[in-house]
Amino acid sequence: MTELATQVREIAQAARTASAELALKTADERNRALRAMAAALRENTPQIIQANQQDMEAARAKGTKESLLDRLMLDEGRIESMASALEELCDLPDPLGQVQEERTLYNGMELKRVSVPLGVVAVVYEARPNVTADAAGICLKSGNAAVLRGGSLAAHSNQAVASVLARAAEGAGMPANSICAITSTDRAATDELMQLHGVVDVLIPRGGAGLIRHCVEHSKVPVIETGTGNCHVYVHADADLDMARGIIMNAKCRRYGVCNAAETLLVDAAVAAEFLPPTFAELRQKGVLLHLDQAAAQVALGAGLKQGEDFVPATEEDWANEYLAPELAVRTVEGVGQAIEHVNAYGTMHSEAIVTADPQVAEEFLNRVDAAAVYWNASTAFTDGGQFGLGAEIGISTQKLHARGPFALEGLTSHKYQLRGTGQVRS
């Protein structure tokens, strides 16, 4: 066993030892620790920002694109948001010890199904140091020990945040190693973590398609797949076009580097000539490069846009591309059926939206589109644990087993059956 493999296993094993004690902590005790963690983030804001500046300088020197720099950056406001999110978790119901089912069996035994922690949750993520706080807080609230493996781009930031949170949690009475961080920047550390079946109970990758695919294909630890977001907004012929324009601008331009951002705009051919010119103009004002199918390109040329400067012809790869950047693919379609076919063929089962005034068409879209979140007359930007009233999320799951959509506290629990008898034996 290599030195790195030994180090990763020791960290995970320490978390496993902690998880047994952590599962017995009361809701009040866990909430007290969360408040201490929030206070520690505020008290250590200057040190965290200093660590983050080291990462930002190194990332800029590597030519990192702006969307990733935006994810990486921490300032006082973002650290305050991280602290507030931890405090908001305290206001949510305790996910543990919930009696999900209770009945008397034929033999007189009393059966209860009760929610319990998963145990040790490993979270592997890239250039988002805020995930360090979110994941640690959600794991602790749900009684799970956390093993955090952030990307090398945010190494200093992640280490600073994780250290602050771990000390605060232990100081508030949580077992040592309830929050653990793997600080090695060697990518092999993730591979070692993925082999620890029986030590780590679940692995959650948060990041780009490559990271997620690698974990799904190579992990021996069960994976909750947080998906990439090739999200669509479809403008139906009966849409309120002003509403549709506001929705696509929000879904695309609110933040480019997030998984719930729209990456493709589908427009009914019947309204393309009316809807697209002002929409293109507004998108170009925001600096969005357009990838247009032939029909949309003809509308763009007629509106004075220049090929190669304002737009480029869309390719087959564009329909499946999660840009995470100021770029948008646009296709014209012939009705809701073709729109649904496109979404189900190219989407990543994350978030999809239709804009229409026709309830029957809307219901068809809502029912036939295969995605974790499907919207009628609203932006895909709402796919978020906080927006759904779930509190800080651990990720957006695009799979169908165990958890789907924004998952937080409930998604990090399992259940066990407790049976109370009076001497029953089975014949």
Task: Give the distance between the most distant pair of CA atoms in the chain.
Answer: 84
- Mean predicted lDDT score pLDDT of the chain: 94
Distance CA 155, CA 205 (A): 17
Q: Which two tokens stand for residue 320?
A: 């499946």
pLDDT tens digits along 14-42: 999 999 999 999 999 999 999 999 999 99
Handedness of CA 253, 394, 363, 365 (dihedral sign): positive
Distance CA 10, CA 183 (A): 13
94 within 8 A of 27, measured Cβ to Cβ: yes
pLDDT at 236: 98
Mean per-residue pLDDT for 387-413? 81
Mean per-residue pLDDT for 152-173? 97
pLDDT tens digits along 43-62: 999 999 999 999 999 999 99
Distance CA 279, CA 244 (A): 9
68 within 8 A of 127, measured Cβ to Cβ: yes
- Type of residue at 340: I
pLDDT at 405: 81
pLDDT tens digits along 272-307: 999 999 999 999 999 999 999 999 999 999 999 999
pLDDT at 397: 81
Distance CA 163, CA 154 (A): 14
Q: In angstroms, what CA-CA distances link 377 with 27, 234, 236, 365?
A: 39, 10, 10, 12
SS3 396: strand
Per DSSP bridges, beta strands 373-376 and 351-355 are parallel
SS3 155: helix
Distance CA 51, CA 30 (A): 28
Buried-state track 112-145, b at ≥16 Cβ within 10 A, e below 16: eebbbbbbbbbbbbbbbbbbbbbbbbbbbbbbbb
Distance CA 184, CA 152 (A): 8
51 within 8 A of 106, measured Cβ to Cβ: no
Q: Which residues contact 161 (CB under 8 A, 6 or more apart)?
A: 41, 48, 82, 129, 132, 133
Per DSSP bridges, beta strands 311-313 and 327-333 are unpaired
Q: How large is the C-alpha radius of gyration of the chain? A: 24
Evaluate if residue 119 carries a pLDDT over 90. Answer: yes
| Burial class of residue 227 in the structure, from the number of CB atoms within 10 Å of its CB (0-12 exposed, 13-18 middle, 19+ buried) | buried
Q: Which residues contact 412 (CB under 8 A, 6 or more apart)?
A: 95, 117, 118, 121, 138, 139, 142, 144, 394
pLDDT tens digits along 122-139: 999 988 899 999 999 999
Q: Which residues contact 346 (CB under 8 A, 6 or more apart)?
A: 230, 264, 319, 320
Q: Could you tell me which of 1, 69, 75, 16 has the C-alpha nearest to residue 41?
A: 75
pLDDT at 212: 84
pLDDT tens digits along 232-256: 999 999 999 999 999 999 999 999 9
Categorize the per-residue pLDDT at 228 as very low, low, confident or very high, splitting at 50, 70 and 90.
Answer: confident
pLDDT at 398: 80
Evaluate if residue 93 carries a pLDDT over 80. Answer: yes
| Burial class of residue 222 in the structure, from the number of CB atoms within 10 Å of its CB (0-12 exposed, 13-18 middle, 19+ buried) | middle
pLDDT at 47: 98
pLDDT tens digits along 183-220: 998 989 999 999 999 999 999 998 777 888 899 899 99
Mean per-residue pLDDT for 333-348? 97
pLDDT at 155: 95
Give the single-character DSSP code of 129: T
Q: Which two tokens stand for residue 346?
A: 């190219």
Q: Could you tell me which of 166, 223, 164, 183 has the C-alpha nearest to residue 18?
A: 166
